[in-house]
Structure 1
Amino acid sequence: MVLKHKFNQQIEKVAISDIRQFDTEVSEIPGIIKLTLGEPDFNTPEHVKQAAVEAINDDQSHYTPNPGIPALREAAAKYYNEKFKLQYRPEQVIATIGATEAIATALQTVLNPEDVVLVPTPVFPIYIPITEINHGQCVTIDTSTDNFVLTPEKLRETLEANKNRNVKALVLVYPSNPTGVTYSRKELQELAAVLKESGIWILCDEVYAELSYSEEHTSLAEFLPDQVLFVAGLSKSHAMTGWRMGFLMGPDDFVEQAVKAHQYMVTAPTDNVQYAALEALTNGQEDSLAMKKQYLARRDFLTAKLEACGFKVASPDGAFYLFAKIPSKFGTDSWNFVRSLAKNARVALIPGASFGPGGEGYVRISYAASMEELAQAAERISEYVKKN
């Protein structure tokens, strides 16, 4: 017997993240300073770690309810409701294996073959392959000429251009990875007016919400609770990337279906990690503040250094990334630039081309690194620009 298709064709179409591949590639360079991944250099708060230790000692090592232990779901609803003026009930919360699983669960729940997902770019390259794996199709919207935000006008224009297709959802990531740009309350209200008319789902990835600098973070879920699929997590706010703890929230009819996708994907999150997350949400409401203060200082330092040597930096109002336009004398090939910089200056950045339309000609720089590393990296970049 000969198999017609040995593998899932949708899986074959997608590639391993080139961001991860490049990070591995440059790790071989002696003395390299890597400003590549979104990995906080802070440690998980001690009280959260201790809660995990106590959970292990208390033999919290069993299956939990699929959507998470009731106390965690209640704490998550309370935490995000109070932070962002939302009105979720515990029953509308699913505890997930990081924000990534929340995104995968949400898209798997709503997509049918050939459904269209609108994706403003530049964007972190996860939403498109997950859409395609679930037999959906993506339409990208280049925001580079609009200061990297999706405008109501461009949204209307895109919806109109695709009116004969089944547009099912919009992805909205803010504060943004890779640009650090976020949306004001007024901008979200204007988008909400268009989205309410359309009736489509909005997958709001707000995992960087607590690292908003210019003004208090507003969630689109405040305005469109019946359409928003709200994604959050503890990786950035509590420096818990390796714990893999995220949350997915939405209206009742969505959660009823999403818990099935979640169940058959992962069964449930790790038992003792849920108790650590419970501690983070219950007694760690202010844990992000000290980190945020340091991130802000790093942002301002690095922005000034880069602009002094010819980079133009997008308005970095959140997260811990700078999206910087490469000085014109180097051209616009971002892959060529980052490879040359890594080889000759021993500083690793991520090429803007990795983030889709509108990203070419830019580089993404993570400032989730110590000030000492950033100072050394800035000096090396400055020398490289002068010599070349």
Structure 2
Amino acid sequence: MSNDTAQQRWVAAHIAGLPRSGIRDFFELVAKMKGQDVISLGVGEPDFVTPWHIREAAIYALEKGKTHYTSNLGMLELRRAISDYVAGHFGVSYRPEDQVLVTVGVSEALDLAFRAFCNPGDKVLYHSPCYVSYHPSIALVHAQGIAVPTYAKDNFALTAEALRAAWEPGCKILMLNLPCNPTGGTCTRDQLSEIAEFAREKDLLVFSDEIYSELTFEGQHTSIASLPGMAERTVFLHGFSKAFAMTGWRIGYACGPEALIDAMMKVHQYSMMCVSIVSQEAAIEALTHGWDSVQAMREQYHRRRDLLVRRFNEMGLKCHSPRGSFYTFPDITATGLDERTFAAELLKQEKVAVVPGTAFGEGGRGHVRACFATAYDQIIEACDRMERFVAAQLGKSDTGNR
């Protein structure tokens, strides 16, 4: 027996059974092709560098010797800025003193919420396809996830009808991600109002991850927390990674009723204590002076989205136009390949990286995720390569049907 095999006996059962991230597994293949002119439409990270004035604020904080712990909740100045920003952009008011918690990215905020509010066996509704960490986060607290399907024909919008069909006794929490990773799907205000009515009827606590909200291209983003009777039953989750191009700063936040934020803070103070003060200083600058940069980046994403969606449809892959985020989710079934084979062969033959849809759950079967947080000229080149690959596959399919 090898040492690795012997040491497995110490791994907790619920961890041993936890799958590795489908995104990271696939990008280990990409890493092995370093130096081979690979164009990545895979990792969901802005290609923009954090704007200079935000970086400069962090540098200045270091020069001033700001290197100590902060409050567990986060710097009060930052919490005030978050409160003002959320009120102005989402129409929900939170007290900075006790209704805002600064976290290590939205990922920690979500983990805190699950750990603070889930008892073993509690059931959590979440829409699928979904971000890779949602279902594992539910499993880590010994709760039960219930996937609620969304469909391309609906532009991957979650519906109250689908929630009602999936609901069962014991459901306690509804997890939302609007706009959604990986589909870019979101909900109109009317659709969200019906979901809010369902949440109130079933007495559900709602976790609303709105990290892509600033990257909404058509219509206006609505937060479910802003709807009647929802602020008191919603944990609003947001951060700086996507809209402000601050992924490496690892900073996010949670807002909600005092009792809920206090419960999350208890977990946070014993696990993380507080967020890096340098990141908090940068976040203050982002919220107070960063909106022009957000709008400029969003315009570029919008232009890239239109290009990628058009090219996918022209090459014969049905692709809806996502209303938000920086992801497209084309249907690749016309090629006759499954999503993992499509992604692997596209990478091998044409050096373009996309992510198999099943990395985001069974609802992603027959699709791949292609991220347009990549330079415009690189997207053009990637599309040319993908068009060549798809044409070859469609030719094989046509031959097989003769």
Output the TM-score relative to the length of structure 2: 0.92
Kept in 2, the 8 Å contact 1:113–1:136? The answer is: yes
Question: In structure 2, how many angstroms separate the alpha carbons of the residues matched to 1:317 and 1:149?
Answer: 10
Q: Deviations over 1:156-188 (max 9, x none)?
A: 2222xx12xx21111111111001111111111
Describe how 1:80-99 pairs up with structure 2 within 5 A.
80-90=86-96, 91-99=98-106
Residue 339 of structure 1 aligns to a residue in which SS? helix
Partner of 1:340: 345
Aligned residue type for 1:379: D
Question: In structure 2, how many angstroms separate the alpha carbons of the residues matched to 1:23 and 1:6?
Answer: 28
Question: In structure 2, how many angstroms separate the alpha carbons of the residues matched to 1:340 and 1:329?
Answer: 12
Partner of 1:360: 365
Identity %: 37
* Equivalenced residues, count: 382
Partner of 2:207: 203
In the alignment, structure 1 residue 148 sits paired with structure 2 residue 156:
yes
In the alignment, structure 1 residue 138 sits paired with structure 2 residue 142:
no
Aligned residue type for 2:371: S
Kept in 2, the 8 Å contact 1:79–1:285? The answer is: no
Do the aligned partners of residues 386 and 73 (structure 1) sit closer, same or farther apart at CA in structure 2, a change above 3 Å counting? same
Deviation at residue 218 of structure 1 after TM alignment: 0.6
Partner of 2:166: 158
Partner of 1:381: 386
Per mean C-alpha deviation after superposition, the further-off stretch among 150-159 and 316-325 is 150-159
Residue 300 of structure 2 aligns to a residue in which SS? helix
Describe how 1:237-248 pairs up with structure 2 within 5 A.
237-248=243-254
In the alignment, structure 1 residue 74 sits paired with structure 2 residue 80:
yes
Misfit runs of 4+, over 4 Å: 2-5
Partner of 2:336: 330
In the alignment, structure 1 residue 228 sits paired with structure 2 residue 234:
yes
Do the aligned partners of residues 3 and 125 (structure 1) sit closer, same or farther apart at CA in structure 2, a change above 3 Å counting? closer
The CA RMSD over aligned residues, in Å, is 1.5
Aligned residue type for 2:64: D
Gaps of 5+ in 1: none
Kept in 2, the 8 Å contact 1:310–1:327? The answer is: no
Aligned residue type for 2:214: E
Aligned residue type for 1:252: E
Deviation at residue 70 of structure 1 after TM alignment: 0.5
Aligned residue type for 1:178: P
Deviation at residue 227 of structure 1 after TM alignment: 1.1
Deviation at residue 68 of structure 1 after TM alignment: 0.2
Q: Deviations over 1:41-93 (max 9, x none)?
A: 10111111110001101111111100101100111011111001111111211
Deviation at residue 24 of structure 1 after TM alignment: 2.0
Partner of 2:396: none
Kept in 1, the 8 Å contact 2:309–2:320? The answer is: no
For 2:316, which of 301, 306, 310 is the aligned residue? 310
Deviation at residue 3 of structure 1 after TM alignment: 11
Kept in 2, the 8 Å contact 1:341–1:348? The answer is: yes
Question: In structure 1, how many angstroms separate the alpha carbons of the residues matched to 2:264 and 2:359?
Answer: 30
Residue 312 of structure 1 aligns to a residue in which SS? coil
Question: In structure 2, how many angstroms separate the alpha carbons of the residues matched to 1:191 and 1:168?
Answer: 15
Do the aligned partners of residues 3 and 178 (structure 1) sit closer, same or farther apart at CA in structure 2, a change above 3 Å counting? closer
Kept in 2, the 8 Å contact 1:115–1:137? The answer is: yes
Question: In structure 1, how many angstroms separate the alpha carbons of the residues matched to 2:326 and 2:84?
Answer: 26
